[in-house]
Every structure is written in structure tokens, then in C-alpha cells.
């Protein structure tokens, strides 16, 4: 990887970290809610939530749940993502044979 590409990716990583830091600064309760969503995703990994664990970074989860009033409400914002992912997996399995 050349130096320009390396600097580009390092800059993107810094921007993601700054985004999360800023969200947590303005919404101090968000850290606990973020942890609850991540714990729920890990606990339900094989029920479609693997997409949240594998594909979403902390700042992306935080951006989606920032308006949630409770951890349950935050988890609900990702339920449709998990359901669609699980449905696609099932469709792939059904069409394999």
C-alpha cells in the first residue's frame, strides 16, 4: 500500500473515532445503550444478528440509536436489519437444492 492510500485510510479511521467520541460527548447515556445493543447482537449472533456484529462499527451503531430513549428501543432499530439478514440466509439455503 502506498503512503497516500495509507494516509487516506488512517484519516478515515480517525474520522470514525472522532464521530463516536463526539456522539458520546453530547449523549453520555449512549455508551450504555451502545453496549446493550452490542451485547444483544452477540447473544443472538446465530439469529440474524451476526450482520450487526460483523458489519457495523461502533460509530455506525451509535448513529442509528442516538435518538432511542431506552436500550430496548435501540435494539428495536436493528431488529429489521437482523430479520432481513436471516431471511436472506434462509432464502439462500432453500434455493441451494
pLDDT above 70 covers what percent of the chain?
84
Position 15 pLDDT exceeds 60: yes
Please check whether residue 39 is in contact with residue 74, taking contact to mean a CB–CB distance below 8 angstroms: no
The rounded radius of gyration (Å) of the Cα atoms in the chain is: 16
Q: How many domains does the chain have?
A: 1
pLDDT for 37 equals 97
User: If you average pLDDT over each of 3-7, 11-15, 86-90, 93-97, which comes out highest?
Assistant: 11-15
Domain range enclosing 91: 3-95
At 57, the pLDDT band (50, 70, 90 cuts) reads very high
With CA atoms as reference, report the closest residue to 71 among 43, 24, 37.
Answer: 37
Average pLDDT, the chain: 85
Of 96 and 87, the structure prediction assigns the larger pLDDT to: 87
Sign of the torsion angle spanned by Cα atoms 58, 34, 50, 76: negative
Please check whether residue 81 is in contact with residue 61, taking contact to mean a CB–CB distance below 8 angstroms: no
CA distance 83 to 48: 6
**Global pTM value:** 0.78
What is each CA distance from 69 to 8, 32, 59, 92, 95, in whole angstroms? 36, 12, 18, 36, 40
At 30, the pLDDT band (50, 70, 90 cuts) reads very high
Amino acid at each position: 500500500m502506498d503512503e497516500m492510500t495509507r494516509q487516506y485510510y488512517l484519516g478515515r479511521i480517525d474520522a470514525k473515532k472522532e464521530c463516536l467520541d463526539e456522539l458520546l460527548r453530547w449523549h453520555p447515556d449512549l455508551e450504555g445503550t451502545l453496549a446493550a445493543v452490542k451485547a444483544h447482537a452477540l447473544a443472538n449472533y446465530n439469529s440474524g444478528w451476526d450482520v450487526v456484529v460483523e458489519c457495523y462499527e461502533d460509530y455506525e451503531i451509535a448513529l442509528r440509536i442516538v435518538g432511542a430513549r431506552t436500550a430496548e428501543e435501540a435494539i428495536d432499530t436493528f431488529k429489521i436489519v437482523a430479520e432481513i439478514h436471516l431471511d436472506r440466509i434462509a432464502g439462500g439455503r432453500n434455493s441451494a437444492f
